[in-house]
Amino acid sequence: MQVIVAANGCTDQTVPIAQAMAQQLAATGYDLLVLDLPVGNKINALNEAEAQATYSCRAFVDADVVLGPRILIELAKILGQDAPVYASGKVHIPQAKSYVSRAYAKVWEQLSFFSEGVPGIGLYAVNETGRARWGAFPDIIADDRFVRLQFAPHERQKTDASYDWPLPEGYENLVHVRHRWSKGNVELADRFPNLMENDSEINKSFNSVLRMLRTPFSAVIFVLVYLASKRRADRIDDGDSRVWQRGRD
């Protein structure tokens, strides 16, 4: 396995901490490459890392994700097939410190997209024939959804193993991250309308509404975050100069 850490414009200790892992990873047969990139841009980081990748099967992992102990083994088994395949694992949301984030997570985990689909948020993997479906990553917000929609629902598989994907902490962080997700989805539909035929998101189904009613107070918080993020998006579209970046506490 080759491990590439693409530190994109990091001003913390990411690079030296990653470099210090080289000997430990080498002892287990992993080849580590740390890229210290001056540009703080995720898409640039993805493309720079892929330019250095030596293996055909690829797993893309966000910095805040914690992989479970067996997930890479199970992903490798899925990616070993010849047919194009998109793979991810079961998403586990660690308990947040913020009550708002815990309530939001309670509803999020009930959505059909999350519980029944292969969302690939924070972690997605493709084999060689799957990766051949697109070239360089385009300059977009939603790289994970861009890749997922390269595959029809029957071409997506999920491991039994899980990984930790933390939600942003607190109301304000949830709102502006949710706003960024929404902007990314709109951008994809505008720029790549042909991909929408693979869109299997069914969160607006009647069953999802019924599930939300099981936890009414959490559902209210979820809807408030959704409405606030939509209002913010409308305000920015109307000329508000503020730029909302993805952030986690």
The Cα 179–Cα 232 span in angstroms is 7
For residue 229 the two structure tokens come to 């993020």
The greatest distance separating any two alpha carbons of the chain, rounded to the nearest whole angstrom, comes to: 55
pLDDT tens string 172-230: 999 988 888 888 888 999 999 999 999 876 545 555 556 667 788 898 998 899 888 87
Name the pTM for this structure. 0.88
Please give the pLDDT value at position 198: 92
Q: 214-218: long-range contacts (C-beta < 8 A, 24 or more apart)?
A: 214/110, 215/103, 215/106, 215/107, 215/110, 217/103, 218/103, 218/104, 218/106, 218/107
Distances (CA, A) of 212 to 62, 94, 125, 219, 237: 28, 20, 30, 6, 30
pLDDT in tens, 146-156: 999 999 999 99
User: Strands across the sheet with 86-92, in order?
Assistant: 58-61, 123-126, 86-92, 156-164, 66-67
User: What span, in angstroms and rounded, lies between the C-alpha atoms of 101 and 168?
Assistant: 7
- Strand spans (E) along 38-172: 58-61, 66-67, 86-92, 123-126, 156-164
Rounded alpha-carbon distances, angstroms, from residue 244 to 8, 174, 175: 18, 12, 10
E-assigned strands of 93-187?
Answer: 123-126, 156-164
- The pLDDT of residue 3 is 96
CA distance 217 to 236: 29
Which residue in 55, 48, 92 sits closest to 76, CA to CA? 55
Low-confidence ranges of the chain (pLDDT < 70): 201-212, 233-249
**DSSP-assigned beta bridge partners for residue 88:** 158
Q: What pLDDT score was predicted for residue 232?
A: 75
Contact 166, 93 (CB under 8 A): yes
In a 13 Å sphere around the CA of 207, the CA atoms on its Cβ side amount to 9
Q: Are 63 and 165 in contact (CB under 8 A)?
A: no
Neighbouring CB atoms inside 10 A of 147's CB total 23
What is the enclosing helix (H) or strand (E) of 222? helix 216-237
Residue 249 has a pLDDT of: 42
pLDDT score, position 202: 54
